[in-house]
Structure 1
Amino acid sequence: MLLDDRYPVLETLKAQEGVTLYRVEGGWVFFFEVRTPEEKERFYRYRAAVRRLQELGLVEAQISAKPGRHYVFFPERPLARRPPPKEALAALAPLGFGGEHLAMAEDGVAYLSPWPLQGSPGARVGRPGFLLGVAPGLLLALLGLWLFSQGLYRYFNPPEYAVPDLVGKTAREAFLLLKDTGLNLEVAEGNDPTKPKEVVLAQEPPPGTRLREGRTVRLVLNQARLNPLPNLQGLEEAAAEARLLELGFRVEGKAQVEGPGALGVVLGTDPPPGTPMPPGGGVRLLLSLGQGGGPAVPLPQFTGLSREEALFLLNAAGLQARVEEVPSGAPPGTVLAQDPAPGTPVPPGGGVRLRVAVRGEVLLPPAFPPPPERTVNLSLNLPPEAAGHQVRLVLLDERGEQVVYEGEGREGLRLEGAYQVQGEARFRLYLDGALFQEWTP
């Protein structure tokens, strides 16, 4: 302990009536609590008494009256049993102090006490007899032996602590919970932009685990870094969607305009490329309808028609057709879906994508011709939840996304097949456009 950043405390000798006497390096300090008018009057009366002794040349002292630091320091001087001088008593009497407040040295006053000293003049405060002088040493010796025995016991029997639940806590909260447990803390960086920065994402070992003192608790602390949106311009629609899913983003919407490039090619994104995005952030795609001329005509509804009927109408309207064949429980050749939607104005020469039901092998768009690296098998009975819903089953790998099945769901409908994939692959089952299940073959 350091008083006023100047006096290292060696011992607390006495505390009485808001005044504490400390033995510090090189002397004694009387430290006053000054919070009330009465305590303030008591300190200033004591200070006036010390100054009168200083004026008489009887005492050496350093006085502080700064806010919160009201004290008087007396340098250490050997005490002597001699009566106080008469001039000292005469100077102190008007201020309420007498000989019983003075501790004498060989060549003057050692210090002035705010309270009467015990014993004869010159006796030191807190040292009235031999037993009291020896007792602190005995107590310290006994305390040392007890601490030594406790140290040996803790060395051979270190205490155990239950690891608290730190996930979701801030770094400061986690530190405070572990501060008094004797457990060490190790921190690694994590990244989850959906959660606040400096929050614990994971911990090892889990909550409730009992660890001995000195063991380590490892925390993953969130740094919440956002991922930039890549440049998707020029990619086919399916490839762009697969890339967004791979990065943890989602397609929030699509718009189609007449423009350069083939049907379904990405012309731009909203937000633009390079924008920092959190996981699950939505991205809108601007797709090309191809080049065309003349007035736009509303697109008729092709869903439910046969492939031949839909192609005939498209050719008659001067529109381009892009057909994707997908396995389905519907009759082969039936148009399952169209893009753009019915009623959308499309200029002559624009393109329309049709999804047509087939049985057997899936004919993928020509944009994905990479050679297969391995074969994965599918053997699935649709769950009861699929009944009455629009079912879409897709297979994703490094080449993008391919539709395995699309149509109305029926409980227990058997889906089987073998598929060529590159790299890591996974199946995704959607019900009415919402992800229901995902698994790795």
Structure 2
Amino acid sequence: MMKPVLDVHEIPKPGQWLLLSIQHLFAMFGATVLVPFLTGLNPAVALITSGIGTLTFLIITKGQMPSYLGSSFAFIAPIIAAKAAGGPGAAMVGSFLAGLVYAVVAIIIKKTGSGWVMKMLPPIVVGPVVMVIGLALASTAVSMAMNDAEGKYSITNFTVALVTLTITIVCSIFARGFFSIVPVLIGIIGGYIFAYSQGLVNLKPVAEAKWFTIPEFTIPFVTYTPSVTMQLVLLMVPIAIVTISEHIGHQVVLGNVIERDLFEKPGLHRSLLGDGAATMVAALLGGPPSVTYGENIGVLAITRAYSVYIFVGAATMAILFGFIGKISALISSIPTAVMGGISILLFGVIAASGLRMMVEDKIDLGDKRNLIIASVILVIGIGGAVLHVGKSFEVEGMALAAIIGVILNLVLPKQKEEKVHMQKKVS
């Protein structure tokens, strides 16, 4: 057992505090601004809500879970669909409802324990759904990489995307120390510089931007009138099935890193409530749903600096960055091709992580039951299946795949007859 450099409740020295907080800010930055970039939300608002959400999470978990909450990739496709159906306000209402699901599940877990969650969301359901999250967005990533602003094929854009992708991959494989934990950020910076050399970057808006500015928040009853429809509920809420499972996985890993049983203290119900509250706060301001970030858990493992005060510092800086106009303008100036190159890797990694989940839990796809569940989830989710019932009831894609996956897992019997058959064959 290695002694931590800073334990959970230790206060760092000022210089150490600043540097460690900046490191966590960099670790989450690339992925956190990528989600609003892809969904058409405001990156500055995403930074602000990630900071506020992290502080909310730390308060609810009584400062016992050093974590950073950034933008969730699981909601990219649902947010795009919700915006297309009802505008930014609809996406925020849906995000709020998803966060509310966390709160409800947290209350139930506090009363009944967490066993039923594990039964409803086993790896054979969550793994394929996570794969759908990445693979369903594959065409979006490739389109961003290959096409120009008018949607036409551009060899220049594709070259920029491939250079960005190459830099990110090289950094992920060969970088050491601090640089090994921020490959996405380094890829974006390297791709941005190359894109500038190819004439794809317009820095005029950055020069014209004010240093201090208030970003365009999306606030209920101020910028839009909230409206809840069954279509919106079925589009956004089922994604909580995936993100709750992801949350549980992160808490297991975090507990192993800091050598504490976080399910016992402060408890899974508190961490879920904190995550849900962060998502609801983000939705009230126009930011994407939140999720605890594995990137920052990786930083904890490398630095062994577990102090929650470091995350308070990172969250505070993220909030301040959101109000600096030139930073917001700089983020907005990143060419789509650069983000396309990053997305090719990130969406692939998401899909691969779902496969990894099934491999690590030794899911036997030779078992007909498991094969059927995985197959149905993958084809319905990636194929973009839509269920219409009447004019107002509609559920599609990833949400439909998640719902059907849960139902199949609950109703399909275990293949006992297969086991009996194998025993007879061996005898």
Q: TM-score, normalised by structure 2?
A: 0.17
Q: Which has the higher contact order (CA 8 A, sep 6+)?
A: 2
The structure whose Rg is larger is: 1
Identify the structure with the greater strand proportion. Answer: 1
Q: TM-score, normalised by structure 1?
A: 0.17
Identify the structure with the greater helix proportion. Answer: 2
